[in-house]
Amino acid sequence: MANLFEQLLARETVFRDRNYITPHYTPDKLLFREQQIQKMTEILAGLLNGKRADNLFIYGKVGTGKTASARHVLSHLLDFAGQKNAQVSGTYVNCRNHNSKYRVLSKIVKDFYPEHNFMGYSAAFIYEKLLGFAGEGRGIVLVLDEVDKVKDVDELIYGLSRANDELRKGSLCILGISNNVMFKDDLDPRTKSSLCQQEMVFPAYNAEELKSILSERAKLAFNEGCVDEAAVSLAAAFAAQESGDARKAVMLLMRAGELADKKGLARVSEEEVRRAKRLVEEEIILNMVLTLPQQEQLVLYAIAGLTLERPPLKTLTGETEEGVLYSGEVYDTYVKIAKKFKETVVSSRWYRECISQLEMYGLILTTQSGKGVKGQTRFIKLGYDAKKIKEAIEKGLTA
């Protein structure tokens, strides 16, 4: 009998190298971002001559190439500084994984002093360490990706920008990135003016741009003739329709390729892209749920739990509607759950804001009842499959 591995590897596949069509892969050339990359380069260039660089804030929807562009520019900067022996250092922090001032600072100094262990040191000590590193005359770039995820972001930015006033030699430049287009308006005015010395919006890609991006990736990732052009166009169109999200486009084509392999097909056609759409949308939503702040997750968890228990509701007009909840009962359930998880319970005012946030993300829909005897009530309805959302949050909470 043939060897198991030989069999597996000999199996027909549409992929030449699947890695190129995963969202983790960053291409060397980023199409349609020349302008943004140019501007970033101009802002940072002064560092190479020992000058200070303005802080820069980049924002735009998910999948518009912010992370890829910033990493691209940072790596070019550091390469060139290395060649020229310029005193420039920089590091990239994904604040989703380092979501407090302390964690961000720890991550940064660990990158600059890889041989040291800063576990358990105070924030003040770590901050001084960073100042010391810059103070030796270095121009430092800190890319803080998804900076809106930092709980005490005002303190972080304030602390880092104050550093420049204290330094006689060397400097810090913050390059903050956010997927949340509203984020900068929530910042303390002082933080906002220092973080946003320069700012840049990344626009969503249109279908045509996404098609070019995908075609480039498909050439690397798939065997010749294994992807229909119509499949690429459809993936681009789906991704453009909602948000112009390149990550979604890439994931659609990747999952479509996997489906083709599973079915033993020689080519990826529109049909696989259509089927991949459901899978990918689910992945994106569950991923979004898991990156919500804990309290919002608990509120969503309460909504999902109640939706599963609840028989369809009769509305005043006699129609029945499924999974419609009263805002008040959701709050009561949330309070019980928060206590169970020993989380602090938030006020009802905050709860209303949280509901608005969840609605903005498209995770729930709300409607206001007409003015009645009891005043106005808000109805809440979950936007996605309750069981899947509940399971995802449970997994995250116990992880």
Ligand X SMILES: Nc1ncnc2c1ncn2[C@@H]1O[C@H](COP(=O)(O)OP(=O)(O)O)[C@@H](O)[C@H]1O
Nearer to ligand X, 31 or 288 (CB): 31
Nearer to ligand X, 27 or 312 (CB): 27
Which residues 266-305 are close enough to bind ligand X by CB under 6 A?
none
Smallest distance from ligand X to CB 248, Å: 8
d(CA 152, CA 98): 11
* Residue 31 engages ligand X in binding (rule: CB under 6 A): yes
Contacts of 103-108 spanning 24+ positions with Cβ under 8 A: 104/144, 104/150, 104/156, 105/130, 105/156, 105/159, 108/142
Assign 319 to helix, strand or coil. Answer: coil
CA 173 to chain centre: 22
Among 20, 44, 57, 65, indicate the residue that binds ligand X (CB under 6 A): 65
Helix (H) or strand (E) holding 91: strand 88-94
Residues that constitute the known binding site: 64-68, 205, 217
Nearer to ligand X, 145 or 154 (CB): 145
* Residue 63 engages ligand X in binding (rule: CB under 6 A): yes
Smallest distance from Mg ion to CB 247, Å: 8
Beta bridge partners of 180: none
Nearer to Mg ion, 67 or 194 (CB): 67
Among 47, 56, 57, 66, indicate the residue that binds ligand X (CB under 6 A): 66
* Residue 67 engages Mg ion in binding (rule: CB under 5 A): yes
Nearer to Mg ion, 252 or 330 (CB): 252
Nearer to Mg ion, 67 or 333 (CB): 67
* Residue 68 engages ligand X in binding (rule: CB under 6 A): yes
User: What is the per-residue DSSP string for 153-174?
Assistant: HHHHHHHHHHHHHH-SS-EEEE
d(CA 111, CA 142): 11
Among 88, 140, 213, 232, indicate the residue that binds ligand X (CB under 6 A): 213
* Residue 30 engages ligand X in binding (rule: CB under 6 A): yes
Written as one letter, the residue type at 17 is D
d(CA 217, CA 20): 6
Smallest distance from Mg ion to CB 289, Å: 17
Among 101, 247, 277, 390, indicate the residue that binds ligand X (CB under 6 A): 247
Nearer to Mg ion, 67 or 89 (CB): 67
d(CA 226, CA 207): 21
Smallest distance from ligand X to CB 68, Å: 3
- The 8-class DSSP code of residue 227 comes to B
Q: Taking CB within 5 to 8 Å according to partner kind, which of Mg ion, ligand X, none is near residue 244? A: none
Helix (H) or strand (E) holding 364: strand 364-368
Q: What does the block give as tokens for 173? A: 């430049």
Smallest distance from ligand X to CB 276, Å: 16
Q: What does the block give as tokens for 21? A: 């069509």
d(CA 109, CA 93): 11
* Residue 33 engages ligand X in binding (rule: CB under 6 A): yes
Smallest distance from ligand X to CB 378, Å: 32
* Residue 62 engages ligand X in binding (rule: CB under 6 A): yes
Assign 11 to helix, strand or coil. Answer: coil
| Length of the chain (residues) | 399
Residues binding Mg ion: number (CB under 5 A): 1
Q: Which residue is nearest to ligand X (CB)?
A: 65
d(CA 267, CA 272): 9
Binding site for Mg ion (CB under 5 A): 67
Binding site for ligand X (CB under 6 A): 23, 26-27, 30-33, 60, 62-68, 179, 213, 246-247, 250
